[in-house]
Amino acid sequence: MKSIRGKKALVTGAASGIGREIALTLAGQGADLFLLDIDEEGLSRVVASAEALGVSARVRRCDLADSGQISAAVQAVRDCWGRVDILVNNAGVAYYGPTDRMTPELWQWLLGVNLLAPIQLIRELLPTFLAQGEAHVLNVSSVGGLVAQTRMAAYHASKFALVGLTESLRAEYSHRGIGFTCLCPGLADTNIFHNTVSGRGGKPIKVPPRWLLVSPRRVARKAVAGIRHNRGLVLVSPMAHALWGFKRLSPWLMDFINRFRRSKRKPSPPDSQPQQKS
């Protein structure tokens, strides 16, 4: 996709963070936007910023844990444009805590938003993409889709799956004019640390030091470049490159690091239960 100008882009999780910046970067290059999120106020702010760049922007409140709402959103986009050139599966949620204390409902919610929603959006839009003969899908995974740590099994499962999904679809549909890119940023300066569901007795998740964080704007620039150049995998931040390099060259080293971190961790209180933050 050599040019973004005039393209129609559907972006999930667009009210803040990486989704917001990807949407505005696309708008800055001339794409019209259709934005999905549960945060309507945040969406309104993104619309104002996008329209100031001279493009049209529409929004719809959509809970990606609800397949019915996803289908309704896809139909709304079709009714609005009749086509979609760029799909950005950005929305994501996280859980941190002992995996044995996760409920079936928590597993279903996390996998629903992080994995099943992107799958449904791709499945429902594939006929449109194939009829057009050109489209691009950006799946936002994480360095956590390449390298795993303890107490985030559900999150890692969903993000590893996005990497594999992207790679498989890229191999299957590249000759049909549909590009697939998987974005794997390192730790980004977003609200995900504050919004992570906690299984630590309600204790907040520690936010990493700022020097470790990459800005959402930088992630967005790399993401849109990945779309334009049809790159299969886009890593952002020195930390992401380093961890992926260590994992590929020395898998035993990552295993050792995880075992060392586990040995230093204090056990969770026996009565702690997952605490969901809205």
For the chain, the structural domain boundaries read 8-264
On the question of pLDDT at 201 being above 50, the answer is yes
Reported confidence tier of residue 274, pLDDT bands at 50, 70, 90: very low
Query: Which tokens go with 181?
Result: 């890119």
Range scoring the smallest mean pLDDT among 52-61, 81-90, 211-220: 211-220
Mean pLDDT of all residues in the chain? 90
pLDDT in tens, 82-130: 999 999 999 999 999 999 999 999 999 999 999 999 999 999 999 999 9
Where do runs of H (alpha helix) occur along the chain? 17-28, 40-51, 67-81, 104-111, 117-132, 153-173, 192-195, 216-228, 238-249, 251-264
- Out of 3.40.50.720, 3.20.20.120, 3.40.630.30, 3.40.50.300, which CATH number does the structure's domain 8-264 have? 3.40.50.720
On the question of pLDDT at 179 being above 90, the answer is yes
- Nearest-angstrom CA–CA distance, 3 and 133: 15
Output the CA angle 84-88-91, nearest 5 degrees: 135
Reported confidence tier of residue 36, pLDDT bands at 50, 70, 90: very high
Separation in Å, CA 249 to CA 159, 238, 242: 21, 16, 10
Share of the chain above pLDDT 90, in %: 73
Taking residues 27-56, report their average pLDDT. Answer: 99
Please give the positions annotated as active site.
155
Name the residue with higher pLDDT: 208 or 202. Answer: 208
Instruction: Give residue 238's pLDDT.
Output: 86
Instruction: Give residue 236's pLDDT.
Output: 96
* Residue given tokens 């993409």 in the structure block: 129
Instruction: Give residue 247's pLDDT.
Output: 82
Reported confidence tier of residue 278, pLDDT bands at 50, 70, 90: very low
Separation in Å, CA 165 to CA 9, 128, 160, 220: 20, 19, 9, 21
Instruction: Give residue 259's pLDDT.
Output: 75
Instruction: Give residue 155's pLDDT.
Output: 97
Taking alpha carbons only, the member of 102, 107, 93 closest to residue 144 is 93
Query: Which tokens go with 2?
Result: 């050599």
Range scoring the smallest mean pLDDT among 97-106, 205-214, 231-240: 205-214
On the question of pLDDT at 210 being above 70, the answer is no
Name residue 140's beta-bridge partners: 183
Taking residues 36-48, report their average pLDDT. Answer: 98
Element (H, E) at 87: strand 86-89
Separation in Å, CA 254 to CA 41, 98, 148, 183, 248: 41, 20, 9, 21, 10
Element (H, E) at 37: strand 32-37
